[in-house]
């Protein structure tokens, strides 16, 4: 049985997170549970004590990890942040890094749109540095 741990992934925007999750795990993969949330399940379907407000069930996580994954959960904290609950097994498949990367890309895109810079700015490159951080280089669009 793989132990669930609170991930180091802390996010702020639920809408951006759900968009990132649907892009990674597929349409209809995101469950939203208000209040105290609902229990996560392990890879054998056993109910775990950990609860989450946003859940990706193991059948969707398996599509990305290719194995015997557990549910993936996110809790809404009192300070407005969203924290990930992930099993050690799925953490080993770097699921959290894929989510962080796509979430960050969407945050940049949405920020550029809000600032009305989307038409004047473009993404020059995307890479991951040695620490695992996403690096996005922006440049000005040139007139043709």
Task: Convert the pLDDT of each residue in 4-59 to its tens digit.
Answer: 555 556 788 999 999 999 999 999 999 999 999 999 999 899 999 999 999 999 99
The three-state secondary structure class of 92 is helix
83 membership: H or E segment, kind and range: strand 82-87
| Full residue range of the structural domain in which residue 77 is found | 4-140
Number of C-beta neighbours around residue 21 at 10 A: 21
User: What is the tally of structural domains in the chain?
Assistant: 1
Residue 37 or 143, more confident: 37
Asked if 140 and 132 count as a contact pair (C-beta separation under 8 A), the reply is: no
Tell which residue, 8, 13, 113, 26, has the closest CA to residue 64. 26
Task: Convert the pLDDT of each residue in 53-82 to its tens digit.
Answer: 999 999 999 988 877 889 999 999 888 889
Whole-number CA gyration radius for the chain: 17
Asked if 40 and 55 count as a contact pair (C-beta separation under 8 A), the reply is: yes
């Amino acid at each position: 049985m793989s132990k669930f741990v609170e991930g180091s992934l802390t996010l702020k925007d639920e809408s951006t997170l759900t968009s990132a999750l649907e892009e990674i795990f597929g349409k209809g993969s995101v469950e939203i549970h208000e209040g105290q949330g609902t229990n996560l399940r392990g890879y054998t379907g056993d109910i775990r004590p950990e609860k989450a407000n946003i859940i990706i069930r193991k059948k969707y996580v398996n599509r990305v990890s290719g194995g015997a994954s557990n549910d993936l959960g996110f809790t809404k904290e009192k300070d407005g942040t969203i924290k990930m609950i992930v099993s050690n097994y799925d953490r080993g498949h770097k699921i959290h890094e894929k989510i962080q990367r796509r979430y960050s890309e969407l945050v940049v895109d949405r920020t550029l749109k809000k600032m009305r810079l989307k038409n004047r700015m473009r993404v020059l490159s995307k890479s991951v540095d040695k620490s695992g951080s996403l690096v996005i280089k922006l440049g000005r669009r040139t007139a043709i």
